[in-house]
Amino acid sequence: MPSNSHDFIRPADPSERRFLESLVRADYDRSHPGETFDDMKRRMSFSREDQGLYRD
């Protein structure tokens, strides 16, 4: 199924965002050796690629 960048989950509040991030944090860290989920979040403000990774 093709991905539409307009169809993604928008957390209702900060606690829901933390919960959703906790679901993907370990997978991201494991699949991107040498960097962490938090590194990617810091780069989001200036990297379109990282914005897309975070959104997905």
Matching residue, tokens 């991107």 = 32
Domain spans in the chain, listed from the N-terminal domain onward: 14-55
Closest CA to 54 of 16, 14, 25, 12: 25
Q: Give the three-class secondary structure for 26.
A: helix
Q: Give the three-class secondary structure for 7.
A: coil
- The pLDDT value recorded for residue 54 is 87
- The pLDDT value recorded for residue 1 is 45
- The pLDDT value recorded for residue 36 is 93
CA distance 56 to 50: 10
Cβ pair 28, 37 in contact under 8 A: yes
Per-residue pLDDT of the chain (56 residues; tens, 9 = 90+): 455 555 566 778 889 889 988 999 999 999 999 999 999 999 999 999 999 888 88
Q: Give the three-class secondary structure for 33.
A: coil
